[in-house]
Structure 1
Amino acid sequence: MLIEFRIQNFLSFKELQTFTMVKSKSSERPGNAFPIMAEKEFSLLKSAAVYGPNSCGKSNFLKALSAMKGIVTTTLQRGMKLPLTPFRLNPETVTQPTEFEVSFIVRDVKYQYGFSASADQIFDEWLFAFPAGRPQKWFERVWDAESGKHLWKFSQFLQGAKKLWQQSTRENALFLSTAVQLNSEQLKPVFDWFSKTLRFVGTEGLSPESTARFCTGSGKEDVLKFLKAADFNIEDIRIEEKHLPTEPTYEINTVHTDSNGQTVLFNFRDESSGTQKFFSFAEPILDVLANGSVLCIDELNVNLHPKLVQFLVELFHDPKANPKNAQLIFTTHETTILNQEIFRRDQIWFGDKNREQASFLYPLSDFSPKKGKENLELGYLSGRYGALPLVRSFYGVQ
């Protein structure tokens, strides 16, 4: 379960930005949040939507979280570059490190983990745990520029071969990842949160492969149910697995019924782009709902009818569909779902840019609510909350 994510100096983000899934004190739509057993008087949101104009940093926000996951879970050989690009429109930030920090919950324990790094090396790294709400600093790694070396601090709370793990950690590698590779069972739940709990769709394109693979196992009936619930007239799915030297690929065919009640086979490429996208969503959405994971989707609305976007969001709000409190975080331009019948105000976020062209994030809950029910869609499109493109006359542009 994701609590909070902090970004600084990454792509279009210059200053420190904090995105939180913590429920505010508002009593609106209580079913859209769930209490946490790890701490008292603490609840998290089941979903969050990020709005804003094109090129405001919405996708970069998800890319930042995805980059953090990639650095944690990918082993690089010595000398290989980390996938980090600092804010390039300021001469100072170009030479400064990127910083990520995330807070999350695993097995009723809160963790706070982060690091700063450039494309060439890790500078700082830290991990706190909060069993029963009590803070414990497990380790800290601090770069000393004068000596050109790291200073290390380990607490009694972290068990295992700490010296060996430290000595085995390369400049472009994280201590967390190295320790888990060298069999640290205590740190494995933290690593697994990144590798198994945190999932992404759309940040690097969309592929039907995972859903096709899911259909070859035990998931076919669930995928068909998912498609039929959204009014796609698909009676069956037929998957042929083709083994290649690198990895298997799948030929996907859908089965429809003609006016005479006969089955007609369609190649997946002949289906509409919306059908293809919805099919590609099936496995990741069904997986995170079944396991209580976190799913991040970039541009959820593209090629989908507004009612289908609403259907996907409300799956996460429905306690029957989402009994393990999975979380959905997505970027979108779809404003028809921007209303208080679907969202709490603290579930709505906006991305925008300042005069320096640096991205920043802020929630709708920063704005004072109007009395009674507020037309959030109208308020947004009329400019009340900002985060709109400043469109000028084509003939007035110099």
Structure 2
Amino acid sequence: MIIEYTCENHKSIKEKVTFSMLASKDNSFEDLLIPFNGILVNKAASIYGANGSGKTSFMESLYFFKTLVCNSNNHQPGDKIRQFPHKLSAPETPTTYTLQFVKGDIRYAYGLSYTREQVLSEYLYYFPHGKQAKIFDRAFSEITFGDKFKKDFETILNFSKPNKLFLSVSANYSAVKEAETVFLFFKEDLIFYPIAQEVNNWLEYSIERLTNEPDIKPLFIKFMNSIECPIQNICTRFEKTNMTPELLPPDMPRTLKELLSHANIQEAQITASELDYGIFSVDLDDESKGIQKLFEVFCPIIEIIQNNKILIWDEIETSLHPRIVNEILRLILHGKQNSRAQLIFSTHDTNLLDLTRFRRDQIWFTELSPSRSTDLFSLAELKNVRKDENISKGYLNGKYGAIPFIHNPLIFPTEEV
């Protein structure tokens, strides 16, 4: 469960931006908030903004933060650290990421600052009894440890390198459970869609679950019926088998078959999906893009809800009808009692800008400043926004910023008749 995230000097984000899932003093929809140790946390947040204002850069920054943590231990001596600085930043300007989150029943705070050459600073704190306690704190090559962890960490200091995150090193080589827990939070609990590297065959995952877990199928059928897609049954097949030339499509070009036969692929997956509407059946490949996407994302979303993970979804409305987006939001907000699952999504769908459905602290905007840097702010930060205000109309009229202003709407001048 994310509490707060900050980023500085990543792509269009030049100055520090802060994104928070903490609930404000607004008392709207308090029953949909997650209580934790005296604070209340939102389950969902939307991000609006003009094209090029930095919505995707913001989400990609969190994704890159994750990949940096997961892959840092693989850096070899002399390797540069990947960095995506703002185009107007000085060459040696560091990039900074920080994240406060909850895993299990413990709150953690992790942050780092680095350049291509080295890690400048890094820290990890936790709050085991509501009070802050140090796990480690790093400044360049100097690392200090909390008393509880000093003995275990000192045995792995030789594995620490200027271009490696100590969190990644300690999760792999130490016996400190807290370091492993934080590492696994980044690796397993932050789920991104539809970033290509992250999707990792969601369709195959859904087919496998629908084939092997009987309890999932009725949930999916019920969900589809709720959006007026009257399927009565789903027939799926998921099988792992040894790769043989006979499994390749008969119409595949011979040269491609030869390449695959020499690629030494030992295992293949056979999948098939058919939706039964009662009077006829349709292969999934012949369904609309919207139905295909729902089929692809439903099982991962159920798994996210069941295991209290966080889904970060860029442009959630792509290929999906607004009603279907509403149902996905309903799954996150109402799908499981006491779930700590969260959804953070960017969108252009102004139908969701509705204070009868969302709190002001759940609605965020990105805007490009005159210095070409992304600014990020929530509706709750703006003054004089009434609870009964038409947010969608106000947004389209530019009241809150974060929209493109078209000063000359016609490319070609009209001819007078």
How does the TM-score come out when normalised to structure 1? 0.89
SS at match of 2:97: strand
- The whole-number CA distance in structure 2 between the counterparts of 1:249 and 1:12 is 40
Specify which of 314, 330, 341 is matched with residue 298 of structure 1. Answer: 314
Aligned mate of 2:69, from 62, 68, 72: 72
The residue that corresponds to 2:300 in the other structure is: 284
One-letter amino acid of the structure 2 residue matched with residue 70 of structure 1: T
Go from structure 1 to structure 2 and tell me whether the alpha carbon gap of 1:372 and 1:20 turns closer, same or farther (over 3 Å shift): closer
2:15 matched residue in structure 1: 15
Deviation at 1:251, TM superposition (A): 3.0
Of 195, 220, 223, the residue aligned with 2:220 is 223
- Counterpart mapping for 1:258-337 below 5 A: 261=279, 263-266=280-283, 268-318=284-334, 320-337=335-352
Identity of aligned residues (%): 29
1:279-308 CA-to-partner distances (Å, cap 9, x unmatched) read 222122101111122111111011111111
- Counterparts of 1:126 and 1:368 in 2: how far apart (Å)? 35
Q: Structure 2 stretches of 5 or more lacking a match?
A: 244-264
Equivalent residue runs for 1:298-377 within 5 Å: 298-318=314-334, 320-371=335-386, 373-377=388-392
What's the counterpart of residue 5 of structure 1? Answer: 5
2:367–2:374 Cα contact (<8 Å) kept: yes
Show the counterpart of 1:256: 276
What SS does the aligned partner of 1:292 have?
Answer: coil
Contact 1:72 1:174 in 2 (8 A): yes
Query: Of 139, 152, 155, which residue of structure 1 is paired with 2:143?
Result: 152
Q: 1:191 aligns with which of 183, 206, 225?
A: 183
Give 1:30's aligned amino acid.
E
3-state DSSP class of the match of 1:362? strand
Letter matched to residue 142 of structure 1: A
Deviation at 1:137, TM superposition (A): 1.9
Who is 1:140 aligned against? 137
**Counterparts of 1:200 and 1:373 in 2: how far apart (Å)?**
33
Structure exhibiting the larger radius of gyration computed from Cα positions:
2
Structure 1 residue ranges without an equivalent (≥5) = 144-149
TM-superposition CA deviations, 1:156-199 (whole Å, max 9, x none): 03254212322112333211111111143232221121122221
- 1:371 Cα offset (Å): 4.4
Cα deviation per residue 1:212-252 (whole Å; 9 max; x = unaligned)?
Answer: 23323314443333333333333214134355527654533
Q: Supply the distance in 1 between the matched residues of 2:14 and 2:369 (Cα, whole angstroms).
A: 10
Alpha-carbon deviations, 1:88-131, whole Å to 9, x = none? 1x151x32121100001122221110111234432211011112
Q: What does 1:372-391 correspond to in 2, within 5 Å? A: 373-391=388-406
Structure 1 counterpart of 2:195, one-letter code: T
Mapped partners of 1:129, 1:386: distance in 2: 37
Give, in whole Å, the separation in 2 of the partners of 1:136 and 1:247. Answer: 47
Alignment equivalent of 1:102, drawn from 99, 103, 110: 99
Q: Which residue of 1 aligns with 2:86?
A: 87
Between the aligned partners of 2:405 and 2:65, the Cα distance in structure 1 is 32
